[in-house]
Amino acid sequence: MSHKGNSKGKKSAKAGAESKSEDVLQAVVLADSFQDRYRPFTTEKPRCLLPLANTPLIEYTLEFLAMNGVNEVYIYCGAHTDQVEDYISRSRWSTASRTCPFSVLQFVRVSDARSVGDVLRDMDKRSLVDGDFILVHGDLVSNIMLDGALAAHRKRRETSAANIMTVVLRSGGQEEHRTKTNGITPIFVVDTKTQRCLHYDEMSPLNSDRYMSLDPAVVDELSTEFEIRSDLIDAQIDICTPEVLALWSESFDYELPRRNFLHGVLKDWELNGKMIYAEIFDEGYAARASNLQMYDAISRDVLSRWTYPFIPECNVVPKQTYQRNINGVVVEDGVFHANDAKISNSIIGRNSTIGSASKVSNSIIGRDCKIGANVVLEDCYIWSDATIEDGTRITRSIVADSSTIGKNSTIPTGTLISFGVQIGEGTLLSKNAIISPVTVDGSPVTPDTDLLGAATNAAPLANPEDEDEDDEDPAILQKSLIYSIAEFNISTSSVSTLSSEVSDDDYDQVAHSIDADASTRSRLSSFASDEAGEKLSFHNDAVHGLLDALRADSGDFDSAKLEFMGLRLANDASDSMMRRAVAVAFARRAAELLTPEYGPLEPSKAAEKALTASNGATKFVDEVGVGGGEPEQVEFILALQKGLLHAKGPEQSRVGILLAALLQQLYALDILEEEGILGWWGDERAADGEGMVTLKDKCRVLVEWLENAEEEDDEDDSDDE
Amino acid sequence: MVSHPAGYAPDLEKYLKTLKGQQLDTSVESLISLLKRRQIKGSEPCAVATAHILLQVVARSKWHDVDGLIDNISRIGRRLVEAQPKELVIANIVRRVLGLIRDEAAEDRNEGASGTPSEAQMTPTDTVHPDPKWPTSTPTKQDSVIDQVPNSPKPVLQSRPTGLSSYSSVNVPKTLFHLLSVSGPNDAESVLHGSPFGNSGTSTPSWRGHSAQVHSLRSEVIDGIEEIKDEISQVDDQIAALAEVQIHPGDYVLIHQPSATVERFILRAALKRKFTVLIATEPPRKQSSEVQHTSFRKKLAAAGITVINIMNGGLMAYMSRVDKVIIGAHAVVANGGVVADAGAAAVARAAKEQGNAVIVLSGVYKLSPENPFNEESLIEWGDSSSFVGFEDGAMVSGVEIRTAITEIVPPELIDTYITNLGTHSSDHLSSLIADHYKQEDVDFHLWNEGER
C-alpha cells in the first residue's frame, strides 16, 4: 500500500514538473480570408464552415493543429463570426465540453479589419501570443507533422533572434498538378544549404512578361547556392515568432501574408535584418481550399486518400460513421441505394437515398439527400439535404444545402447552385452558371422564372467580374469552379507572341491608361501599370498639395515642402517630375489669381503674389523647382508654360502676360537667369503647338529687354535693385 | 525555455503521461482522436492504451454495482472500437476486462452464498509463490488477516498488486489462466489463504450498493487490468523464449517486415544458434541510402548472423532455400486467419507451395474471438502516398491508388502459432479463446451499436 502510494506521488510530481517546463504551442487561425472566391456560398455561410467531403473545412484545420500538439488556439472569423462561434461551441472543440484537446480556444474579434494584415496588427496590439505560434488559414487541409520543422525553427531562433519565421511548403513536382493553385504561381528562392528564403514572388498567366526580377544582392551577398522553385504547393502554414506580428505592425500597408508581407520582408532584408526560412516537405499533404478550384482538387485528394487520416473512413469528426465498401464507395449509416444503382469512388452521407438505375461516380453526397431514379452524377459535390429528382444529369458542379433540382434537368460543368435554390423541371443551364436566391450583398433576387421554372426562387448571378475594378488581379482566374484562361485570350502557346506585341506600345498605353480599353489593360503587366499609376498620382498629389499651401493665408510653406519631399521619396519621383509638379502648381496659382474668384488681380500682381505671398515659397521654387543650371531652368519654364496653357479660366492673352510677369518676377528674384530664359526662347519645344506660340509671343518684350540688358550689364544690375 | 527533442505531437507515451492529470472524459476523448488520427497505431500500442484507459474507467468513473461498471466499460470500449475498428486488439482487451469484472462479481456473489467454491479461482497464482519471494507484502497480508474481521476484505485485496508485479516470466502462463483454471496442486495453499476471503464474505451479508464492496471490486478489477498490462509488456520476451526450439542451426529463416516481436525472437535465437536470416521488405518508394531495418541488421551482424535483404518481388527465387517463414501478427481471428502486414499472405503462400513451415508470432491478447464474415472489413487501407509520391501530378490525378496496410493470411497457410503461452496449432486456438473470453463478451463488437 505504502509502496504504491509512493510511486503514485512520484509520478504525479514528475508529470507536474514536466508540464510546467513545457512551453505551450500556440496557433492563430485566420478563418476569414477577405476574399469572395467562394461566391455565392459565402454570402450566407462562412468559408470555413462549408463542407469538404461532408466535413466542415474548419474541422480539418483544427484537427491538423490538434495532431501537432497545439495547445492554445486563437481564431479570427470576420464575416459570419456568430455562425462560426455557434458551430464551435456545439462541436467537440468547445473548451467547455472537456472533449477539446486545446486548453484555450478563443475567438478574436477585430472590428474594422479589412485585410489579414489588419487582423495580425491587432493581434500584435493585444499580445495574445507570447511564444512560437503556427499561423494557418481556416481552410487548411493537411496531415503534415510539424515536429521536425518546429524543432528546426526553434533551433534557428535560439541561434539568432533575427530568424523569425519558417514557411512550410510541400513540393509539388515539375508536372502539372491539380492541387497547385491555378492562376497564381508562388515562386520561392531558397538557399539550398541553410534553407533560408531569399526572395518571394508570384506569377500569373496575366503577366505579360514572364520575368521575375531578382535582387542582385541575393547572388552577391546572401547566397552562393540557391534554388528558384515554382513547383511548391504553398498551404500558407507559417511557424512564427511574435516578432512577426511586430513586423506586421511596422508595415502598416501590408495586407496579404504572401504577396505583401513575405515579399516585402524578404526584399527589405537589409533594412529589417530579419530572416525567413522555408521548410520544404516531400512527404505528407498540405493544401488550402482557398478557392473553388482548390476545393475541387482537395475533394479529389480526399477521395483518393491523400489526406489520410483525414478521410471520411477514419471518422475523425465525432458522430460520423463512414465505412468503406467495395468500389471505393464510402458510406455512412442509413444510406439506401437501389440495387441497380451504379456507385463508384464516392462518399455518401447518412440517410441519403439513391434511386434505381442512377449512376454516381467520383462524387460526394451529403446527409439526407434524395437522389431520384435514373440520375447521373459525375464529379459532383452535393451538400446536405438536397433533392435531385428523376432523370437529372449533373456534371462537376456544386449543389449547396437544401436545394431542389427538378426532373430531367441538365446541370453542366462548373455550375454553382447556392443554398435553398429551387430549380424546376427540365431546366437546362449553361456552363459555369451561378444560381443563387440572393444577390452578392444578401438581398433577394427577382426569380428568373423563364430559365429556372415557375416555382423557382433564384436567378443566375451576374458575372462578378463586371464590377471588379482590378482586372490585372490574377484572383479573377480563381473565381470559378473550373479553371480556365480561355476567356482572357491567353493560352500558354500564344504567350510569347502576345508579350512581344504588348511590349512595343507598353509605355504608351500606360501613359494613356486612364481611358485605355479595359481588355487591353488586363493584358498589361500589373507591374508596369502600377508604376504609371504611381507617377500620375504623384504628380496630382504634389500639385494639389502645393496649391493648397499656396492658397492658405497663414503662409507657412515649410510644412508643404516637407510633405512634398515625403511624397517624392514615397514615389521615388525623379527631379524632372518634381520640377514639373512645382511649375504646374505655381502656374495654376498664378492663373487662379487672375480670376474674379480669387482676385481679380493684374497679371504682374498675380505673379508677384503667387511667388512671394508665402514665406519660403520663393526659396522652395529656387531649390526644388529649379535648382540647377540652364537646362533645368529651360525645363522649368517649359513646364510653367504648359501649366498655364492648361490652366482654366482667364483668356489666353492675359495668361500670356501672366507668363511674362512670372518670368520677370523669377528673374527679379534671382531664381532664373537670363541664360535660362533665353535658352527657353530658343528652344523649339516652347513653340510646339498653337497655344504655346501664343503664350511665347507675349514674352517677346521681356526677352528683348533681357537681350538688351545683357549688352548693358551695368543697367541690368541697377534694374535689379 | 527548455528544449524539447520529443516535439509537440501527441503519441502514446505523452498520452499515458497525461492520464493522471486529466478528467476521465477528456482522456477518453483524446484517446479516441488519437486512434482516429492514427497517432496511436499498431496492435501493441493500441492494446496498452486500451488497458490504461479502461483502468482509469474502473478507478474513476461513477458506478455503484457490477452492472454499472460493465455498462461503463462496454460503452467506452465500444467507442474505442468504433474509433479504430480494424485493430481487433482493442476489442480483445475490452472483452478481457469485461470477463474479469464478471469473474470478480461472480466470485463475490458466490462468497455471499458460500465461501468455498470461489477460493480456488480466486488465488491460483498468488499461492504459487512461497512467501519469502515477496517479503514486502507479507506483513501487509498478516495485517490484513488481523484487520479484516471487523472490516471489509479491502486490505487483503490491495496487497495483490505487489504480488502480481513481482511475477517472473516463468509464472505468467499461469496468470493467464488464472481466471478460469482451477489449479489442483495448489489447493492446499489456496485454502490456507482462502479462509480470510471466506470470512470476509460471510461478514458482509449483502454487498450490493455497499460502498466497501464496491471498493473491493474496484481494486480487484484494477489489479486484473494491471495484470493484463504486465502480460502485454512481457509478451515479446515470452515468445522469444521459445525461439531456440523453433530455429535450428543452419536454418534459413525468412521474416517479412519484422515487427518488434519478430526481431526479439530472432535475436534471442541468435544468442545460441548460427543461422541465416532473409528479410523480405517492400521496395522503398524513394531511393534512399538508408537500408531498411538498419538497426536490426546491425544487431544481427553483431551476433554473427548472416542477413540477406530481399524485395518482395524476388521472394520466390529464394523460397527453395528457406526452411522457415516467420510472420508477426497484428491479430489472429478465431478461425486461425492472421491479420498481418500487407505482403505477408504472398510470402505465406509461396512458403506453402515449397512446403516450408510458416510460423506466426502473436501474443495471446491479439487472439480475437471474432470470426470475420467479411474479410474485407479487417483490411486497413492506408495513405496513398506509400507507393506514389504526391508530387507526381499525373499519377495523382489519373490513377486510383489503393494501399493495404494489413491483409489476411488464410489459416490453411499457417503451420504453427507461437504465443506467450506456448506453441499451438490452429485447432488449439479455439480452446485458447474459450480460456480468455467469456461467451457473453464474444459478441461484443461494433455491430452491437444498433441494438443499444
The single residue listed with the C-alpha cell 494489413 is B406
Assess B396–A contact: CB distance below 8 Å, yes or no.
yes
CB B273 within 8 A of CB B247: yes
Residue B8 to residue A300, Cβ atoms within 8 A: no
- Residue numbers of B between 192 and 221 with CB closer than 8 Å to A: none
pLDDT in tens, A596-647: 766 677 777 777 777 777 777 777 777 776 766 777 788 888 888 877 777 6
A495 contacts: CB under 8 Å, gap ≥ 6? A205, A210
pLDDT in tens, B83-110: 888 888 999 999 999 998 888 888 877 7
**Chain A residue whose CA is closest to B286:** A282
Assess B398–A contact: CB distance below 8 Å, yes or no.
no
Contacts of B389 in chain A (CB under 8 A): 173, 282
DSSP for A278-296, please give it.
EEEESSS-EEE--SHHHHH
What is the pLDDT at residue B45?
A: 92
Residue A21 to residue B23, Cβ atoms within 8 A: no
The single residue listed with the C-alpha cell 508540464 is A19
User: How close B147 gets to chain A, by Cα (Å)?
Assistant: 14
Calculate ∠ Cα A201-A112-A71, nearest 5°.
70
Assess B151–A contact: CB distance below 8 Å, yes or no.
no
If pLDDT is split at 50, 70 and 90, which confidence band does B404 have? confident
Residue B20 to residue A313, Cβ atoms within 8 A: no
Which residue in B86, B165, B391, B402 has the most chain A C-beta atoms within 10 A of its own C-beta, making it the best mutation to test that interface?
B391
pLDDT in tens, A522-578: 333 334 344 455 566 777 778 887 777 777 765 567 777 777 777 777 777 777 778
User: How close A272 gets to chain B, by Cα (Å)?
Assistant: 26
Would you say residue A271 has pLDDT above 60?
yes
Report d(CA B25, CA B72) in Å as an integer: 12
Residue B162 to residue A170, Cβ atoms within 8 A: no
A688 contacts: CB under 8 Å, gap ≥ 6? none
Which grid coordinates belong to B413? 497457410
What is the pLDDT at residue A485?
A: 66
User: How close A583 gets to chain B, by Cα (Å)?
Assistant: 59
User: How close A238 gets to chain B, by Cα (Å)?
Assistant: 16
Contacts of A176 in chain B (CB under 8 A): 393-394
Contacts of B5 in chain A (CB under 8 A): 151
CA distances (Å), origin A82, targets A109, A441, B169, B361: 11, 18, 60, 56
Report d(CA B132, CA B125) in Å as an integer: 15
Contacts of B10 in chain A (CB under 8 A): 67, 69, 101
User: How close A295 gets to chain B, by Cα (Å)?
Assistant: 14
Q: Hey, which bits of B372-437 come out as E strands?
A: 406-409, 416-419, 422-424
Assess B389–A contact: CB distance below 8 Å, yes or no.
yes
pLDDT in tens, A66-86: 999 898 999 998 878 889 999
Q: Look over chain B and give the mean of its residue pLDDT values, rounded to a whole number.
A: 76
Assess B62–A contact: CB distance below 8 Å, yes or no.
no
Q: What are phi and psi of A697, to 5 degrees?
A: -60, -35
If pLDDT is split at 50, 70 and 90, which confidence band does B199 have? very low
pLDDT in tens, A666-677: 888 777 777 778
Assess B447–A contact: CB distance below 8 Å, yes or no.
no
What is the pLDDT at residue A597?
A: 67
CB B341 within 8 A of CB B379: no
3-state helix, strand, coil in chain A (%, to 5): 45, 15, 40
Report d(CA A507, CA A457) in Å as an integer: 49
Contacts of A70 in chain B (CB under 8 A): 8
Contacts of B162 in chain A (CB under 8 A): 3-4
Report d(CA B12, CA A36) in Å as an integer: 42
Residue A16 to residue B382, Cβ atoms within 8 A: no
CB burial of B95-110 (b: ≥16 within 10 Å; e: otherwise) equals bbbbbbbbbbbebbeb
Report d(CA A165, CA A144) in Å as an integer: 18
Burial class (CB in 10 A: 0-12, 13-18, 19+), B452: exposed
Q: Which of A18, A21, A173 minimises the CB distance to B391?
A: A173
Q: Look over chain A and give the mean of its residue pLDDT values, rounded to a whole number.
A: 79
- Residue numbers of B between 118 and 147 with CB closer than 8 Å to A: 136, 140
| Parallel, antiparallel or unpaired: strands A196-203 and B416-419 | unpaired
Would you say residue B167 has pLDDT above 50?
no
Would you say residue A17 has pLDDT above 80?
no
What is the pLDDT at residue B113?
A: 56
What is the pLDDT at residue B146?
A: 39
Omega within 30 of 0 (cis) for the link into A40: yes
Would you say residue B408 has pLDDT above 70?
yes
- Count of CA atoms in the C-beta half-sphere (13 A) of A7: 5
Residue B39 to residue A301, Cβ atoms within 8 A: no
DSSP state of B6: T
User: How close B26 gets to chain A, by Cα (Å)?
Assistant: 5
Contacts of B159 in chain A (CB under 8 A): 1
Q: What are phi and psi of A234, to 5 degrees?
A: -105, 105
Report d(CA A347, CA A320) in Å as an integer: 12
Contacts of A131 in chain B (CB under 8 A): 1
Least confident window among A367-376, A529-538, B100-109, B346-355: A529-538
Residue B396 to residue A177, Cβ atoms within 8 A: yes
What is the pLDDT at residue A648?
A: 58
- Number of Cβ within 10 Å of residue A635's Cβ equals 22
What is the pLDDT at residue A14?
A: 37
Report d(CA B317, CA B302) in Å as an integer: 27
Amino acid of residue B434: A
Residue B306 DSSP SS3: strand
**Chain A residue whose CA is closest to B382:** A308
Q: Hey, which bits of A58-174 come out as E strands?
A: 72-76, 104-108, 133-137, 140-142, 163-171
If pLDDT is split at 50, 70 and 90, which confidence band does B378 have? confident
Structural element, H or E, at residue A388: strand A387-388
If pLDDT is split at 50, 70 and 90, which confidence band does B179 have? very low
Contacts of B35 in chain A (CB under 8 A): none
CB burial of A669-694 (b: ≥16 within 10 Å; e: otherwise) equals bebbbbebbbbbbebeebeeeebbeb
Nearest Cα to Cα of residue A583 among A503, A541, A637 = A637
If pLDDT is split at 50, 70 and 90, which confidence band does A678 have? confident
User: How close B37 gets to chain A, by Cα (Å)?
Assistant: 5
Contacts of A177 in chain B (CB under 8 A): 391, 393, 396-397
Mean pLDDT of A582-605: 76
CB A458 within 8 A of CB A437: yes
**Chain A residue whose CA is closest to B39:** A67
Contacts of B16 in chain A (CB under 8 A): none
What is the pLDDT at residue A108?
A: 87
- Residue numbers of B between 3 and 42 with CB closer than 8 Å to A: 3-5, 7-10, 14, 17-18, 20-21, 23, 25-26, 29-30, 33, 36-39
Residue B400 to residue A304, Cβ atoms within 8 A: yes
**Chain B residue whose CA is closest to A154:** B3
Which residue in B383, B387, B388, B445 has the most chain A C-beta atoms within 10 A of its own C-beta, making it the best mutation to test that interface?
B383
What is the pLDDT at residue A308?
A: 87
**What number of C-beta contacts closer than 8 Å exist between A and B?**
146
pLDDT in tens, B266-308: 999 998 889 999 988 877 666 555 677 788 888 888 888 888 8
Report d(CA A152, CA B374) in Å as an integer: 46
Q: Which of A15, A21, A146 minimises the CB distance to B17?
A: A15
- Residue numbers of B between 280 and 339 with CB closer than 8 Å to A: 286
Torsion angle of C-alpha atoms B238, B239, B245, B246, degrees rounded to 10: -170
If pLDDT is split at 50, 70 and 90, which confidence band does B126 have? very low
What is the pLDDT at residue A52?
A: 92
If pLDDT is split at 50, 70 and 90, which confidence band does B444 have? low
Contacts of A4 in chain B (CB under 8 A): 158, 161-162
Would you say residue B151 has pLDDT above 60?
no
**Chain B residue whose CA is closest to A68:** B9
- Number of Cβ within 10 Å of residue A608's Cβ equals 20
What is the pLDDT at residue A647?
A: 67
Burial class (CB in 10 A: 0-12, 13-18, 19+), B302: exposed
Burial class (CB in 10 A: 0-12, 13-18, 19+), A340: exposed
* Helices B88-113/B43-60 angle, 10° precision: 40
User: How close B343 gets to chain A, by Cα (Å)?
Assistant: 20
The single residue listed with the C-alpha cell 490504461 is B52
Which residue in B8, B30, B32 has the most chain A C-beta atoms within 10 A of its own C-beta, making it the best mutation to test that interface?
B8
User: How close B58 gets to chain A, by Cα (Å)?
Assistant: 17
Does this complex have an ipTM over 0.90?
no
The single residue listed with the C-alpha cell 531456440 is B244
Q: Averaging pLDDT over each range in A299-303, A514-518, A646-650, which range is the top one?
A: A299-303
pLDDT in tens, A418-466: 998 988 888 888 888 888 888 877 788 888 888 888 888 888 876 554 4
What is the pLDDT at residue B181?
A: 43
Looking at per-residue pLDDT, the higher value among A148 and A490 belongs to A148
CB A260 within 8 A of CB A117: yes
Which grid coordinates belong to A297? 482538387
DSSP state of A444: B
pLDDT in tens, A319-356: 888 888 878 889 998 899 888 999 998 999 999 999 99
pLDDT in tens, B28-67: 988 998 999 989 988 999 999 999 999 999 988 888 888 8
A401 contacts: CB under 8 Å, gap ≥ 6? A366, A383, A384, A385, A386, A419, A420
Would you say residue B414 has pLDDT above 90?
yes
What is the pLDDT at residue A473?
A: 66
CB A604 within 8 A of CB A701: no
Q: Hey, which bits of B290-410 come out as E strands?
A: 306-311, 324-332, 338-341, 357-361, 406-409
Residue A25 to residue B8, Cβ atoms within 8 A: yes
Q: Hey, which bits of B284-413 come out as E strands?
A: 306-311, 324-332, 338-341, 357-361, 406-409
Would you say residue B175 has pLDDT above 50?
no
Which grid coordinates belong to A514? 486612364
What is the pLDDT at residue A505?
A: 39
Report d(CA B363, CA B54) in Å as an integer: 20
**Chain B residue whose CA is closest to A26:** B8
What is the pLDDT at residue A374?
A: 92
Q: What are phi and psi of A387, to 5 degrees?
A: -120, 120
Least confident window among A203-212, A378-387, B231-240, B284-293: B284-293
Would you say residue B449 has pLDDT above 60?
no
Assess B452–A contact: CB distance below 8 Å, yes or no.
no
